[in-house]
Structure 1
Amino acid sequence: MADEMVLRAQRFINITYGNGATLGISKLEENGRTGWPVMYALTRALQYEMGISALSNNFGPGTLGALQSKYGKLDETTIPSANFCRIIQSALYCKGYDGGEIDGTYNDRVKAAVVKLNQNMGVAGTYPGSSLWPKVVKGLFNMDAYVTVNNGSDTIRSIQQWLNGRYVLRKDYYIIPCDGHHSRDVARSMLLAIQYELGMADGVANGVFGPGTQSGLKSHTVSTGSSGVWVQLFTGAMVLNKRPVSFSSSFTSSLASGVRTFQSFMKLPVTGQGDFQTWASLLVSYGDQSRPGEACDGVTKITPARAQALKAAGYKYVGRYLYNPSTTSLPEKEIQPGELATIKEYGLRCFPIYQTWARSVDYYSPEQGATDCMNASYKAEEHGFKPGTRIYFAVDYDAVDEEVTSHILPYFRRLREQMNQLGSPYKIGVYGPRNACSRISAAGYADASFVSDMSSGFSGNLGYPMPENWAFDQIVTKTIGSGDGRIEIDNNIASGRDTGQGDFYPTPSEKLDIGFDIDLWPSLLKEVEDYMNLIGKPGGTGRIYTLQECLETIISHDAAITSAARRYRMRKALIQTSAFWEFCHYSLKDVGEDAGVVLYHTGVIPDWAKDLPKVERLVDSSTGLAKISGRTCILSRNNSIRAGLLEGDILDATADGDRWAMWQKVNQDNVFSLSTVPHLHIWAADGKPGDHAETRIRRPALDYNETEIFEVLRRYQGFGDEAVAHAKERMPLYAIFEKYNLAIRGA
C-alpha cells in the first residue's frame, strides 16, 4: 500500500541527488512503498551530506564513526543542514513515524517521533529526550521493526528491548529489532550479553560461542531460588527457544519444571537447573559438542573393525547414504556390498540418507522431487531396506525462509505425492536446518527431522527452535577408533523417535525389475490383445473396460507395481498378470455387487448404481481393479504384518467395520489395490492362513520356477477346476509381461 509521505521521501531523493546519479544509484521508483532501495539511498545521502567520499549501502563503522565524531548526537542544535534534516525526516517516515513534513526542520513533530522511536527500541532510559544518538540513527536506516509485526510475541519484544536498553552503550552492541521475532541478530546479541556479564571487555566480546564463553557459563548455573540478570538471560533464552516460561529475574519452581521439560525434549540430563549443557542448547544450535551421541552418520564403509569401534564408543544408529552418482568422489559414500550385514552382525542399526547434490536452491523442483523419490526408493529396495524404513532426504545448504517457500516445499510435496504413488513403501524424513525441517514437517511432507545443527551459522538454524519431531541432532564431526577401526563420523544425538533398521533383506542374486519403457507400449499391447482374443477372454457381454483400457491402467501404475515387486523380491509380471486378468474381467455383475456392499454398510444405494435393475445387500465383494474383497485384503495384509513385511494394525476379517474400511480402500484407491496384490501372493504361498487351507510353498522369489508361478496364480483366484483352468490361461500372459520386463532390466 502506497504511503504519501514515503512517496515524498523518494521524490526528495530523486530531485535533490540528480535521480540518484550523485549517490551512485539508479533513480528511485516513486511508489510510496518502503524497502531496501529507499533505505540504501537514504544511507548514501546521509554519507554524502557528511562528506564521506566512498558511498555505500552499508551503514557501517565508518558512517557510525563519522556521526559520533562530527555531531555526537543529532538535534535542533547539531543538525548541519536542511537536507541533512530532510534525510532524517524521510527515514522516520519510512519507519512509520511522523517526520514532520520533510521540511528540513528538526521540529516538535520530529522530536516526538524520536522520543517514540527510543521508547520502542527500549533505549529511552539510556537516551532520554528527543536527541538522535548515533546507534539509534544506525537502527533508523535499516528495515528492522521496533513494534511487533507478523504476529510477533510481546514477550520476545520485551526481551529485545531489555537487551537494547542494557547493552547499547557497549562498543560492539548495536540496536536489534524489537519486532517480537527471534532472529540471527537477536541470537548474536544474546551471546554478546552473556559475554558482557562474564566481564569480557569491548573488543574481546564477539558474539561467538567460544572457549571463553563456555568456560564462563560453566560457573553460572542458575536454579530454583536464583535471581538477577543471569536468570533474566536464562529465561530470555528459554523464551526465544519457544519454551512456555515467563521472562523474569527470579528462578521459580514453575521455571524449573519448564527447564526439565526442555531438557527431556533435547535429551539432556534432566536437572531442572540452568546448567552448562542447558545454556549451550539454548544459545547455539549444536549445544555442548562434547556430549556423547548414540547416532552417527558418515561417508565411510562400516567394516567389522569400524563397527566394533562404533559399538565400543556407545553408538547404536548409523546413517549411511543410499546412492552416490559419482564413480570417483567419496568411493565409499554409498552403502557397500555386505555392509548392512556387518551392521546387523554387530548389533547396530542403520538409517538411510538420500543426497546427490542438494547444496543450492536451484537443485530443488517438483520434477527433482519425483526423480529423487523414485531413485531413493529403488536404491533402498536394492540395498535391502524393509518397508516402513524412513529415508532422510537432504536440504544440505543454508536455505532461507523464502527459498523454503518457493523451492523446498514444492520439492517435498512432489516427493510425498510420488511416494504415495509407489504405494508408500518408505517413510519420508528430512535432513536440514531447523527452519526447513520444521516447515516441511508442518506441511505434512516429512514425519521426522535429522537436524544439521552443526552448521550453527545457518540462518535456518539461528533464531529457530528445535523441530518438535527431531530424530537425530548432528552436532560435531569427530574421529573414533584406531588402526583398521579408525573412522571419521558426524556425532549425532538420538531422540529415540527413529531407531533405524536392524534387519535387512539379503542382496538379490538376480536383477530386480525396473520401470517400464514406454517405447515398448505398442508391441506389448498388440501381444496382450492378440493372446486374450485367441483364448476368447474375457468373453461374454457386460464387461466394463476394453483390453486396452485395462492394460493402460496397469501400465499407468507401473511405478507402484515396480516398487512393490522390488520391495518383496518378486517378479513384477506376477503382479501385472493377476491385476490385469482380474481387471479385464470386471463386469456389470461386479458393479451390482459393489453397490450391494455400499447399501449393506450405509443403507443407501450409491448414485452410480441408481439405474441398475436390482441391488441386493451384500456384506463384501471382490472389488477394485485387482478384484480384492475386504476380507481377503485383511487376511493377506495381516499375514504380511505378522511376518514383518508390512507396517500396520492387525484387523478383524470377520468384523463388518474392518471389512468395510478395507473394501473402500481397494475399491477406490488403485495404488492401494495394486500394492495389496503382492501380499495376496505371499499369503497364498504361506497357505492362506484364516482361509481355505493350502499347502505352504516357497514365497514368491526372483527365481520362481513355472510350477511355483502357476500355483500362486491359481491360488489368487481360489481353488477348484475353474481356478486351475484360468491359471493355465494366465501362464502365457505372465510370459508376455516377463518377456518385456526382462528386455528392460536385462538378464
Structure 2
Amino acid sequence: MDEMVLRAQRFINTIYGSVPGINKVAEDGITGWSTMYALTRCLQHELGITALSDNFGPTTMSTLQSKWPSIGRSTGAPANLVRIIQSGLYCKGYDGGEIDGLFNDRVAAAVQKLKSDVGVSSVYPGDAMVPKLFKALLNMDAYVVISGGSSTVRSIQQWMNARYVNRANFFIVPCDGYFSRDVQKALMLAIQFELGMSDAQATGVFGPATQAGLKANTLSVGSSGPWVQLFSAAMVFNRRDGVTFTSTFDSNLSGKVRTFQDFVKLPVTGNGDFQTWASLLVSTGDATRKGSAFDCVTEITPARADALKAAGYSIAGRYLCNVPNTTLNKMIQPGELAVLAAKGLRVFPIYQTWGGSADYFRYAQGVNDALAAIEWARYHGFKSGTRIYFAVDFDALDYQVTSNIIPHFRGIADTVSEHTGGYKVGIYGPRNVCSRVSGEGLTSASFVSDMSTGFSGNLGYPMPTDWAFDQIATINVGSGAGSIQIDNNIASGLDDGQSSFNPGTVEANLDVDFDMSKRDALLHDIQNYLISIGVPEEGGSDIFDKDNATLGCNTTTEAFDITLAHDRLITSLARQLKMRKALIQCPILWEIRKWNMGDMVADGVVRSHYTNGSPIDKNDCSTGLAQIFAETAIKARNYSIQQGIISGTILDPEKETDLWPVWQKLQDESYNISTVAYVHIWGAHELGLPRPGLTTSEDDTRRILARYNGVTAEAEQYGRELLGLYKVFEKYHAPLRNS
C-alpha cells in the first residue's frame, strides 16, 4: 500500500464523493484504473463538464486546452485542479507534494521529471502541466522501463512522443519498453504524418493512401532520416535480433532485413520495400501476396482441385468434422482426400467445433477435443506424423491465454501424447496465442490467423517463430464448376501437409454421445434400480453410522449429473478403446454416490503424509472422482503402456516418488476418468479375461466390475450390484448407437 496514493483516494472521496457521476473509490493505497477514472471525472467536474465519463476524450481535451492550456506556479489554477495533478503524480510514482493544492517546487520537479520520462521536455519546456501531458498523467501507462521491457523500445517511444505530440490526434504513448497495440497505432500515425497527411487524413488505418506512400518510399543502403528511423523502429518492434534504432540504413540493417524477409517468405532484397513495410506494420502484410497454401470450408471437387493447382496452390487445409447442431457442412467429404492426392494437392487437417470464446477452453475440454480429433483423423485416414491444428478462433486477451488457452492445450498435448500413434499438435489462432502456447512446448507449429488484423492478439505482436501457415486474405479462385472461395495462406515450409492416406476407419456399433432429452428417464430408472438394492436417493452422510457409511454424502441425482457432465469424455474414451461406455460410467457414478466424510479424512491423511510428515503412515488411498488408489492407477497404466494401448513412462507402484505425483493427478477429473478405463483393461488381464470390448459377455462384465473393487467377497457383491447399474445404462445407450 502506498500512503500517498491512499491520500489521493481520500481526496477523491472527500471532495467529490457527493458529486453525481463520481463514484467513491476503494481506499486501499493501490493505483488502478478505478482511481484514474475517478480523477478523470474529477477533472471534468472542475472544468464544468456535466456529462462525466471515464474517457479523457475530445471534449475534456478541448475544454482543458481552452480554460487551462498551462498550469504552473503562477497561473492561478484552482486548488482542486492542482490537487488532481498532485494525486495523479502520486499514482504514477512521482512526488506530488502534500496534495494541498499548492503548485510548489516538489510538484514542479515532478512534472519536469514526467516530461523527461515521456520524452517531451524539448517540446514542452519548463515545469507547467499541459493538456496532453495531463491526459497521459491520468491513465495506467508507465513512462519508465518496466520488468521485461526494452530500453531500445523505450527510446523509440520517447522519440515518437517528442516528434509527433503536437499533431492533433497523436497522444503520448507509454514509454515502458513494450510494444503494444497503442504503440503500433502510434507508429502508423507517424508514418502517415511523414507522408504529409493532414490531421484529418491521418487515421492510423493501413489504407490505399498509406500503401501508395510506402511504395514511393523504398529504403536501401545509404538512405537516412526519419523514414529509416520509422523502419528500424518497426524492425525493433517485431523483435528482430541485432537491430538498433537508427537514422541510417547501413549494410548491417540491410542484412537484418534479408533475414526478416526470408523468415516471412518475402523476396529477399535487403531493402525496405513495400512488402517488407507491410509485413512489419500489419498482421496480413501485403494481403495481395500469392500463397501456396489455403484453407476452406468447401468440398474440393476434381474441377476445383484443377483450378487451385492452376492458381499455384499445393497445400490444402480442411476440417476434420462439422460443428454439432449447425448446418454448415465444412468437413472433409467421402472420397475428397483421394481426389486431392490424385491431383497432387497435399492436406493438413484442422479441428474446430466451437472455440469462439474463452469459456470454451479448459483442460478437460482439451482432453475431449484431442480424443475427438484423433478419432476423426483416423476416420479420414490421416497417417502417423500428421499435424492436427486445433483452433482458437477469437481475440483472446493475454490473461485469457494464461487462464484458459494454455490449460486447454495442455489437455490436448497430454491426450495426444498418450493416445496417438504419432499425430502432432498444431494451433490455429492469433499471433500472441500461438506464440505463448508454443512457448509452453504444447504445440509444434502455428497456423496464424493474421487476416484478423484488428485482434489484440495480432496488433503489437511479432510473427510466431514456429509459423507454418499465415492466413492473410479471403479470395475466390476458378470459375464455373471450378469456382471456390478460400483463405489464401503463405506457407513457411515447416509443414507440407500429407500426400497419402490410409483407408478411412469406419467403426460400427460404437457408443455415441448421450441424448440429453432422455436424461430424466435414465435418472428415474437409475434411482429405481439403486433403491431396489438398498441405496435411496439420499442419506448416509454420518460416517459414524456404520450401516449407512457406504451410502455417502452425495444424492443419486448429484452423482448422476456429475457422471453425465463427463459424457463427452467417457464416450470418446470408450470409442478410442473400443469398450462400452457404461463400463466406465458405473464405477464413477457409484463411487460419487457413496463418497463420504471418511474418504475426505483419508485424503487429508495422505496429503499430510507427503507434505507435513503425518504421524499416521498412510501413503495412498482411493481418491478422486472414481476413488482409485495411486498404486492401482500405476499398475493399470503400466499394463496399458506395455500393451501399446497408450504411451507413457513405466512407474514403480511401490515408490512414493511415483505414488505421490500420480495420487495428485487423480484429483484431476479427466485423468481420473480415463484411469477407470485402464483399470478395467488391467483388471480383465488380472482375471485372465479378454480385454473388455464391444462384445464382452455379461458375466465377464460383472467380473471386471468386481475386480475394480478388489478380490474380496465384498468385491463380488460390488460386481453384481454394478452389473445391474450397467444394464440400466445399456438400456439407453444401445438404441442410440444402433440408430
- Using the size of structure 1 for normalisation, the TM-score is 0.71
Q: CA deviation at 1:429?
A: 0.7
Task: Note closer, same or farther for the CA distance 1:96–1:325 as it changes in structure 2 (3 Å cut).
Answer: same
What is aligned with 2:643? 674
What is aligned with 2:273? 275
What is aligned with 1:78? 75
Structure 2: runs of 5+ lacking an equivalent: 515-522, 524-568, 581-631, 648-684, 702-729
How do residues 365-444 of structure 1 correspond to structure 2 at under 5 angstroms?
Answer: 365-423=362-420, 425-444=422-441
Matches of 2:185 and 2:381 in 1, distance apart? 45
Q: CA deviation at 1:26?
A: 3.0
Given that 1:477 and 1:489 are in contact with CA atoms closer than 8 Å, whether structure 2 keeps it comes out as: yes
How do residues 32-47 of structure 1 correspond to structure 2 at under 5 angstroms?
Answer: 32-47=29-44
Residue among 99, 121, 125 paired with 1:124: 121
Matches of 1:391 and 1:733 in 2, distance apart? 29
Matches of 1:411 and 1:509 in 2, distance apart? 28
Question: Which deviations, in whole Å up to 9, do the C-alpha atoms of 1:452-482 show, x marking residues without a partner?
Answer: 0011111101111110100000001111110
How do residues 528-567 of structure 1 correspond to structure 2 at under 5 angstroms?
Answer: 563=576
Matches of 1:734 and 1:417 in 2, distance apart? 24
Matches of 1:219 and 1:516 in 2, distance apart? 60
Matched, 1:471 2:468: yes
Q: CA deviation at 1:337?
A: 1.3
Given that 2:386 and 2:424 are in contact with CA atoms closer than 8 Å, whether structure 1 keeps it comes out as: yes
What is aligned with 2:283? 285
Matching residue's letter, 2:12: I
Given that 1:423 and 1:564 are in contact with CA atoms closer than 8 Å, whether structure 2 keeps it comes out as: no
What is aligned with 2:53? 56
Matched, 1:248 2:217: no
Given that 2:224 and 2:247 are in contact with CA atoms closer than 8 Å, whether structure 1 keeps it comes out as: yes
Task: Note closer, same or farther for the CA distance 1:353–1:110 as it changes in structure 2 (3 Å cut).
Answer: same
Given that 1:423 and 1:671 are in contact with CA atoms closer than 8 Å, whether structure 2 keeps it comes out as: no
Matches of 1:514 and 1:735 in 2, distance apart? 9
Matched, 1:307 2:305: yes
Matching residue's letter, 2:498: Q
What is aligned with 1:485? 482
Q: CA deviation at 1:508?
A: 4.1
Task: Note closer, same or farther for the CA distance 1:731–1:8 as it changes in structure 2 (3 Å cut).
Answer: closer
Residue among 182, 185, 188 paired with 1:185: 182
Matches of 1:419 and 1:515 in 2, distance apart? 21
What is aligned with 2:295? 297
Matched, 1:92 2:61: no
Matching residue's letter, 2:141: D
Matches of 1:302 and 1:330 in 2, distance apart? 15
Matched, 1:352 2:321: no
| Larger Rg, first or second structure (1 or 2) | 1
Task: Note closer, same or farther for the CA distance 1:516–1:355 as it changes in structure 2 (3 Å cut).
Answer: closer
Given that 2:371 and 2:573 are in contact with CA atoms closer than 8 Å, whether structure 1 keeps it comes out as: no
Matches of 1:270 and 1:669 in 2, distance apart? 52
Given that 2:372 and 2:572 are in contact with CA atoms closer than 8 Å, whether structure 1 keeps it comes out as: no
Matching residue's letter, 2:175: C
Residue among 104, 107, 110 paired with 1:107: 104
Residue among 140, 143, 148 paired with 2:145: 148
Matches of 1:278 and 1:671 in 2, distance apart? 52
Q: CA deviation at 1:97?
A: 0.6
Question: Which deviations, in whole Å up to 9, do the C-alpha atoms of 1:68-97 show, x marking residues without a partner?
Answer: 111222212335311111011000000011
What is aligned with 2:260? 262
Secondary structure of 1:99's match? coil
Secondary structure of 2:643's match? helix
Task: Note closer, same or farther for the CA distance 1:93–1:462 as it changes in structure 2 (3 Å cut).
Answer: same
Task: Note closer, same or farther for the CA distance 1:365–1:510 as it changes in structure 2 (3 Å cut).
Answer: closer
What is aligned with 2:621? none
Q: CA deviation at 1:255?
A: 1.1
Task: Note closer, same or farther for the CA distance 1:47–1:677 as it changes in structure 2 (3 Å cut).
Answer: closer
Matches of 2:125 and 2:440 in 1, distance apart? 47
Q: CA deviation at 1:16?
A: 0.7
Given that 2:418 and 2:646 are in contact with CA atoms closer than 8 Å, whether structure 1 keeps it comes out as: no
How do residues 607-646 of structure 1 correspond to structure 2 at under 5 angstroms?
Answer: none
Deviates more, 1:445-454 or 1:23-32: 23-32
Matching residue's letter, 1:422: H
Structure 1: runs of 5+ lacking an equivalent: 520-555, 566-570, 573-624, 626-664, 679-725
What is aligned with 1:685? none
Q: CA deviation at 1:557?
A: 12
Matches of 1:365 and 1:249 in 2, distance apart? 47
Question: Which deviations, in whole Å up to 9, do the C-alpha atoms of 1:411-469 show, x marking residues without a partner?
Answer: 11112122223145421111100001001011111111000001111110111111010
Deviates more, 1:233-242 or 1:72-81: 72-81
Matched, 1:8 2:7: yes
Matching residue's letter, 2:264: M
Given that 1:373 and 1:415 are in contact with CA atoms closer than 8 Å, whether structure 2 keeps it comes out as: yes
What is aligned with 2:333? 336
Matches of 1:256 and 1:738 in 2, distance apart? 73
Secondary structure of 1:429's match? strand
Matches of 1:159 and 1:376 in 2, distance apart? 45
Q: CA deviation at 1:127?
A: 0.7
Matches of 1:423 and 1:220 in 2, distance apart? 52
Matches of 2:12 and 2:502 in 1, distance apart? 70
Matches of 1:385 and 1:307 in 2, distance apart? 19
Secondary structure of 1:352's match? strand
Given that 1:423 and 1:560 are in contact with CA atoms closer than 8 Å, whether structure 2 keeps it comes out as: no
Question: Which deviations, in whole Å up to 9, do the C-alpha atoms of 1:21-59 show, x marking residues without a partner?
Answer: 315243211110000000001000000001001010000
Task: Note closer, same or farther for the CA distance 1:147–1:381 as it changes in structure 2 (3 Å cut).
Answer: same
What is aligned with 1:226? 223
Task: Note closer, same or farther for the CA distance 1:496–1:513 as it changes in structure 2 (3 Å cut).
Answer: farther
Task: Note closer, same or farther for the CA distance 1:408–1:398 as it changes in structure 2 (3 Å cut).
Answer: same
Q: CA deviation at 1:345?
A: 1.2
Task: Note closer, same or farther for the CA distance 1:746–1:137 as it changes in structure 2 (3 Å cut).
Answer: same
Matches of 2:692 and 2:286 in 1, distance apart? 63
Matched, 1:321 2:309: no
Matches of 1:510 and 1:75 in 2, distance apart? 80
Computed over aligned residues only, the root mean square deviation of the Cα atoms, in angstroms, reads: 3.2
Given that 1:435 and 1:461 are in contact with CA atoms closer than 8 Å, whether structure 2 keeps it comes out as: yes
What is aligned with 1:659? none
Q: CA deviation at 1:169?
A: 0.6
- Using the size of structure 2 for normalisation, the TM-score is 0.72
Given that 1:168 and 1:174 are in contact with CA atoms closer than 8 Å, whether structure 2 keeps it comes out as: yes
Given that 2:316 and 2:348 are in contact with CA atoms closer than 8 Å, whether structure 1 keeps it comes out as: yes
Question: Which deviations, in whole Å up to 9, do the C-alpha atoms of 1:561-595 show, x marking residues without a partner?
Answer: 95488xxxxx99xxxxxxxxxxxxxxxxxxxxxxx
What is aligned with 2:16? 17
Matching residue's letter, 1:8: R
Secondary structure of 2:499's match? coil
Task: Note closer, same or farther for the CA distance 1:670–1:451 as it changes in structure 2 (3 Å cut).
Answer: farther
How do residues 577-592 of structure 1 correspond to structure 2 at under 5 angstroms?
Answer: none
Q: CA deviation at 1:298?
A: 1.2
Matched, 1:504 2:514: no
Given that 1:195 and 1:213 are in contact with CA atoms closer than 8 Å, whether structure 2 keeps it comes out as: yes
Matches of 1:492 and 1:161 in 2, distance apart? 36
Secondary structure of 2:469's match? strand
Task: Note closer, same or farther for the CA distance 1:80–1:342 as it changes in structure 2 (3 Å cut).
Answer: same
Matches of 2:50 and 2:148 in 1, distance apart? 41
